[in-house]
Structure 1
């Protein structure tokens, strides 16, 4: 019902109430009712026939009820609205013939003193649907009988229109506040509503455009059989479409979306269009790329680590004469490798401080004894591959020192520090120096440990290590690759 129709209904109700009031007060002698040249004249006197005739031509339901709630007269509009006949209601109590909600509303209006006019709204079920009426009551004198004139004005269309309007306002508010893009299309696939998030997807205003035209989408997982217009068509036909990944090549910012579409029904009516939601997938896509990158990096590192473990196993076996010697040497080297891996894992495989690697590898040999390890100027950071190689070198030096060198006797000590290099040398050298241990003699033969020390950092031209067997203690100068060092 339109606003004009509602206004006309209210005007008629006011006129009916004014007329009844005038009749009650004796200000009216006759009524002229009719339209387009056909009129009827009703004389208002002491009898009730003319009053009944007037009530019958009223556009609203009307009844005359005495103060006890007994129906003196009810017009055809009212009995039809209640699903009754005029003969069945004449002389009956309103509570006997009307729905309970109506009877209670009338009883409420009849509560003395009846000063009128009074009105109230009542809702009740009719033919399985809720209808809405406004009841207006005005006391008057019907011949010699005190009565109350009650009009029943059907405002169901108005109430439903207001409810629909309120629902639409609520729907618009929900759409406007949604973070994802929401578009509403009519049955022809034309966009009728779009929230702010949806407007951000376009270079222009999408309203009034076909969905497929406004939002050119590519559906990479649909093998070409489904297009953007098919999503809207399926929803309008009653089939919801859930979570279709789509790419919008012409969108100014976001390019990847998760598109869903659902039929649009208002109340119990037929499908009047569809609602399309487009969820930004850019962060998820970026996360997927990052995850794939990490998986590839993990795969690469695992393969490198396994290859390194196999190499350590093979070379250790070649240089050890007994199974016990192999087990001890191999286990120590794997534990050294694991110690550096633990440090890297704790730092999310980012750069490590040189000092942290030294402290971690020497912890099994110097823990609990103060002063046996001294480190200086080792705050530079190194990349993971340099950390792994450097950790193996330090482990071999520590193992040798524990067997034959400074860490094999009480009072022996090891100092590890960076050594300044001449300008332009382009090298960063860490010096391992032992003191306070047994006198050092050059070995007769070089084992696998010497190979690990010499070769581990030679993957770079600026990497490597040199060992000097000085009598006062072993000295090893370790060159860390410049490209793997960071401040």
Structure 2
């Protein structure tokens, strides 16, 4: 053995003699013996009092438990958490004095082999509220007794803070994603949150301002008794306000809104403010205005149509000698009027072409006979009143052609086309019959000719003239320029 090894043995022997002397004199409470897997603590001489004192000054609940789950010692913080006194739990099984979630967690922590620290998070109800703890277990040996040291760390506040933060993030996300304007106010009516849609309500930043200041509202149906601050006050006091129409005169963009306000209350907590939502009514208002205009236009057109029907009835009666003749002539004219109205209805009273009217009115007379109606360049659009008058004119021409003209014989043909030159002040459509029997100027002026010549004379650029040529009737129809597109 070398001299250095002899010196090392002497040093260790000296340390051992000093340790034994300290133990005999009561100066050492415990020994820590290092092993290859984990250190072990042995209580020496001073008994368990030193370890108990150490556990009592810990900031968390702590207990020493034997492998069977029996409590060797529990400090005051832990027994307070469990709702017992220290004396009453000593020697008890941990499952007997702890809530089921805690007992189950400790059973899992004590499952052998227990090497090194292990932990688990548990949640249980205490005094009517949910609490959260982290349990940590570590092997422990006191003198000759082997056990487990278990600590109970209360993380309830941390979990609640995290949940509150998560709820706040979720609330912000919901507010931000809402299509309608959303404003959150505290109990004093101060705006604390807004979303992007609310930017249409005010200039600048509304945060920190009162709702009444940032968004002054006028309630047309409230006779001046309700203001912005009243909406917030009612909601903060617990009364929800649902769907009140309001006008925002100072809003830079949208002016009309449907306003609702609800108390802001989380769980059973007291009301902490209110949430105001404002739905843009501009499209609905525009639709209502359009509907009103359409109703007025419909009323106007119905009255005009009824007046026209009465006029047709009266004038037809004056020019027919028999009831049968009146019925046939009157029914035909009303059907012609209805055909044009159907076309207008199918096209929403817009985009009706001259071609549409001609084809519709001549369909009863030319269906199944190819080539009897020839049209050219009739794609120009016309207004509803021009279409109705023009339809009556074409109906009278078609009826006359079917009785006496080109449509009364198999080889007859009708050609309809514009004959106006560019730049003229009138737009003239020519109706020309050919291939029919020879005709002569009638000796009697019927109501049909009156319809043809007068129907379009509501405008200075409208009207019609008829030429009774021997080879076939020709009618030149001037359509009002203001009704053509």
Do both proteins adopt the same fold according to a TM-score greater than 0.5, normalized to the shorter chain?
yes
Matches within 5 A, 1:25-36: 25=32
Question: Which residue is equivalent to 1:229?
Answer: 229
- For residues 152-209 of structure 1, the C-alpha deviation after alignment (integer angstroms, 9 at most, x for no partner) is 1211112111111111121112212222221111111111112222234221111111
CA distance in 2 between partners of 1:201 and 1:440 (Å): 75
Q: In structure 2, how many angstroms separate the alpha carbons of the residues matched to 1:286 and 1:424?
A: 39
Residue matched to 2:129: 129
Q: CA contact under 8 A between 2:262 and 2:276: conserved in structure 1?
A: yes
Unaligned runs of 5+ residues in structure 1 are 1-21, 28-42
1:280-319 mapped onto 2 (5 Å cutoff):
280-319=280-319
| C-alpha displacement of 1:327 | 1.5
Contact 1:44 1:51 in 2 (8 A): no
Asked if the contact 1:139/1:147 (under 8 Å) is kept, the reply is yes
Secondary structure of the residue that 1:25 maps to in structure 2? strand
Partner of 1:95: 95
Cα distance change on mapping 1:412 and 1:148 into 2, 3 Å: same
CA contact (8 A) 2:420 2:426 kept: no
Whether the aligned pair in 1 keeps the contact of 2:414 and 2:434 (CA below 8 Å) is yes
Are the equivalent residues in 2 in contact too, given 1:24–1:139 (CA < 8 A)? no
Distance 2:102 2:423 in 1: 103
Spell out, residue by residue over 1:449-482, the C-alpha distance to the aligned partner (whole angstroms, 9 max, x if none): 1111111001011111111222221111111111
CA distance in 2, matches of 1:351, 1:60: 83
Distance 1:336 1:321 in 2: 22
CA contact (8 A) 1:351 1:384 kept: no
What is the DSSP-based 3-state SS (H/G/I as helix, E as strand, rest coil) of the residue aligned with 2:272?
strand
Contact kept in structure 1, 2:353 and 2:379, CA below 8 Å:
yes
SS of the equivalent of 1:183 reads strand
Contact 2:44 2:143 in 1 (8 A): no
| Residue in 2 that maps onto 1:260 | 260
| Displacement after TM superposition at 1:54 (Å) | 3.3
Give the whole-Å Cα distance in 1 for the aligned partners of 2:257 and 2:412. 66
- How far 1:122 moved relative to its partner? 0.7
The 5 Å alignment of 1:56-455 reads 56-421=56-421, 425-455=424-454
Q: Work out the CA distance in 2 between the residues paired with 1:131 and 1:211.
A: 38
Query: Alignment length, in residue pairs?
Result: 449
Rounded to whole Å, the distance in 1 between the matches of 2:45 and 2:166 is 48
Cα deviations by residue, 1:16-69 (Å, 9 ceiling, x for unpaired): xxxxxx967379xxxxxxxxxxxxxxx974512332233334332211100111
Equivalent position of 1:30 in the other structure: none
| SS, match of residue 242 in structure 2 | strand
SS in structure 2 of the partner of residue 64 of structure 1: strand
Q: Normalised by the size of structure 1, how large is the TM-score? A: 0.88
Residue pair 2:69, 2:93 contacting (<8 A) in 1 also = yes
Shift of 1:356: 1.7
SS in 2 for 1:262: strand
Gaps of 5+ in 2: 1-28, 35-42
Please say if residues 406 and 437 of structure 1, whose CA atoms lie closer than 8 Å, have aligned partners that are also in contact: yes
Aligned to 1:238, the other structure's residue is in SS state coil
Secondary structure of 1:279 counterpart: strand
- CA shift, 1:424, in A, is 6.5
**SS of residue matched to 1:270:** coil
Q: CA deviation at 1:378?
A: 2.0
Contact 1:463–1:481 (CA under 8 A) maintained in structure 2: yes
Structure 1 equivalent of residue 474 of structure 2: 475
Report SS of the residue matched to 2:52. helix
Give the C-alpha shift of residue 302 in structure 1.
1.4
Q: Structure 1: how far apart are the matches of 2:184 and 2:60?
A: 40
Over 3 Å counting, the alpha-carbon distance change for 1:74 and 1:150 in structure 2 is same
Bigger-Rg structure (1/2):
2
State the TM-score, normalizing by the size of structure 2: 0.88
